[in-house]
Structure 1
Amino acid sequence: MQGWAHELGLSQIGVTGIDLRDAEPGFQAWLKMGFHGGMDYMASHGIKRARPAELVPGTVSVITVRMDYLPQSTPDDWVAQEQARQERPEEAVVSVYARGRDYHKVLRARLQKLADRIAAVVGPFGHRVFTDSAPVLEAELATRSGLGWRGKHTLVLSREAGSMFFLGELFVDFALPPTEPVSAHCGQCSACLQVCPTQAIVAPYRLDARRCISYLTIEHEGLIPHELRPLIGNRVYGCDDCQLVCPWNKFAKVHALPDWQPREGLTGSAIATLLSWSEAEFLRRTEGSAIRRIGHVRWLRNLALAAGNALRSGQLAPAQQEALREALLARRDHPDEVVREQVAWSLALR
């Protein structure tokens, strides 16, 4: 099966059982603390997340997969280059994983092809494919099946591939021999906790999503809390800081898949330029991209916030300041009140 996975562009495969009972208390405690923020779906599905056979009746084993996502054009000094973006306040920074095609579409299709290959050998079987798209404890399943260990930032880490990869699952209704989990190798390192701009990693292995920039710029609807706005800087979709500082990502791997190549406009673009996109242009440029999921209003909110942070940075040339102010003024009377408030906040900064 590992050979089939590689032929389909999947980087690693594992197998685990469905008894996740010992993960339930930690998940319930996380929910009780309110760390899921506005992601009500995390609580609405209840403990079903830790019980695969309740989510998909008949499930006996779970096949887990890892798919690396650094594009083939990634330079050797990619970490330094990504960190340097934060020193250019006029530049809009999109998380690396979101610059290409929507991973949900790519990985789901390849998991289905894997299921088809299995069916060609064993015959028809019950199954369901998941990629960050249902109440599944993905990281828990990944660690139990040996794809890696849970890092202190809560992401799955691999000695061979760092953390720059997507996870997916194939629930099946027959037994497979499980693959062995691997030991953890974070040691005394706490770089991810220290680097988080909003201190969202409140303790090792515990994330308060309400403070996480990825959550705030992607999942969170409405106004972003005022006290967190300056800390977001020029990040307009997601945040990679905890991954960029992780020593294990020196082993992160590139993938030859063209789908991961950055789209025009999503790497190195000026905030002012992206603020000028009409809704039609936003939809055209993000077709087939994960970014489209947040919609044009949230996209403008994020960009307007980044524009305000850039204006208050004191690092812009006069022409850059003027371009940002003009872009903000053009959105001052936007129909959405969240955009209007964010624009007003950003224009009021000195």
Structure 2
Amino acid sequence: MAYFNIERRTLNNGESRYKATVFVKKNGRIVHRESKTFKKKAQANTFGKNRVADIETNGLNSAKTCTIGELIDLYMNDKDLYDKDGRTKQYCIRLLRDCDISKINTDSLKVSDLITHCRNRRNAGAKPATLSHDISYLKAVMKKAHPVFNIDANVEIFEDAFIILKDMELIGKSEKRTRRPTTNELDKLREALAQRQQHHANTIPLTDILDFSILSCMRISEVCGLKWQDLNIEHKTVLVRDRKDPRKKQGNHMLVPLLGGAFDIVMKQPKNKELIFPHNPRSVSAAFQRVRNKLGIEDLRYHDLRREGASRLFEKGYSIEEVAQVTGHRNLNTLWTVYTQLYPHKLHEKNSE
């Protein structure tokens, strides 16, 4: 037996949304559940009625089609799929939901539709690397359509689409980023962050985290996830759990040496909580961005501190294998080409040692 209900919720801006959830019961227990959210109650009601009628007529397991937007809704409501995606992929999928391409049926998608999508996004200011993410993440969602939701989807077109979109230069790799903060910029950042952390409402050791991020070459999410139980005081190492790896989403633990003053910064922190830096990484990044903007420092991202740290290690004479042990890179070519930007004048300092 199939049936549906509608729930109303209010967004932070006061607007209402209506979530239609369709259920299928068998032998007294729910065997299937799917939902979709609408701006108007009438739309939610229509969806619920039509979906129930479709299930009653064609059965739950009959292959069906829907719009790409509806498929994205199903994907985002599946905790085993969407919740395991990274922030960048989640953001991109939400953005695709609001694009015109979401109105096309999953079994009717053509290469020309992808071309139109890329052109529209390019005209709005998106770069080829961003559009490459669009197409890759849309393909990832479409590939789940049939095996997970029993929805027919024209996934085969993506093989040709990538070739054509590259030839048209609508998609491409991101430009190599070479930005490193200058000594003057870092001094200004430390001074401004020190003033900010003196505010009574601030509990984040911003200057310590800034310096630790450079010395450890860790992402801010990794810094704020370090645990005291994973610190080896004798060896001055720490276990970084679930380190980012494109081939392995979880369980990628790595023992990392705390070089330079990184270990001393750790030992300065209060030991009254499980985490060494028990703070929200987004709050740290936001504080950095506000201070950076106030100082008028242009084109500097928090992630650039990771490049700064790796570049410093190379300038000190560490081998690429040794630097990779700190940064966590499995692909040494990526480490060298993406995370390294050496200052030529530093070679004189090394030569004089």
Tell whether the structures are fold-level matches, with TM greater than 0.5: no
Name the structure with the higher helix share: 2
Bigger radius of gyration among the two: 2
Give the TM-score of the pair, scaled to structure 1. 0.28
Q: More relative contact order in 1 or in 2 (CA 8 Å, sep 6+)?
A: 1
